[in-house]
C-alpha cells in the first residue's frame, strides 16, 4: 500500500503492528496452516487489517477461552482506539481475523 494512502500516528501504528505480530504467532503456533494472506486497506475513516489462513480453523471454545491472552491483548489494543477485532473460523477451512481501527478517535 502506498504510504500516501493514509497516515497512522505512532501509537496506532505500533498497536496495529503488535496485533499483526500476535496474529502471525497464533498462525504459527496453532493453525497448522500452509499459507496465509494479508490485506491492509483504508475504508471509511478507518484502517482495516485482514489476515486469513488455510489452517484448522479456530473454534468457538477457543474464542471464548479466558486464558487466551493473545486474543485478549489484540482486542484491548484495538479497543484503545475505538476499534474492533473480529475472528471467524471454520473447521478445516481456516481462520480470518479482521481488525478495524479508526484513523482518528471518534
3-class secondary structure per residue, 11-49? HHHHHHHHHHHHHHHHHHHHHCCCCEEEEEEEECCEEEE
Q: What is the pLDDT of residue 66?
A: 81
Is pLDDT above 90 for 1? no
Domain-by-domain residue ranges, the chain?
Answer: 7-102
> Would you place residue 3 in the very low, low, confident or very high pLDDT band (cuts 50, 70, 90)?
low
Kindly report the number of other CB atoms within 10 A of residue 91's CB atom. Answer: 9
Q: State in words which class domain 7-102 has.
A: alpha beta
Q: What is the pLDDT of residue 65?
A: 83
Is pLDDT above 80 for 4? no
CA distances from 56 to 28, 30, 66, 96 (A): 12, 8, 21, 11
Predicted confidence (pLDDT) per residue in 27-70, tens digit? 999 999 999 999 999 888 899 999 999 999 998 888 888 888 88
Amino acid at each position: 500500500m502506498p504510504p500516501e494512502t493514509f497516515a497512522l500516528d505512532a501509537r496506532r501504528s505500533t498497536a496495529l503492528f503488535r496485533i499483526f505480530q500476535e496474529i502471525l504467532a497464533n498462525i504459527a503456533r496453532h493453525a497448522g496452516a500452509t499459507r496465509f494472506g494479508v490485506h491492509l486497506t483504508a475504508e471509511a475513516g478507518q484502517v482495516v487489517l485482514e489476515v486469513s489462513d488455510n489452517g484448522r480453523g479456530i473454534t468457538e471454545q477457543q474464542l471464548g477461552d479466558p486464558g487466551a491472552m493473545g486474543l485478549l491483548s489484540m482486542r484491548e489494543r484495538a479497543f484503545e482506539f475505538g476499534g474492533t477485532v473480529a475472528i471467524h473460523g471454520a473447521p478445516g477451512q481456516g481462520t480470518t481475523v479482521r481488525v478495524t481501527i479508526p484513523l482518528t478517535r471518534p
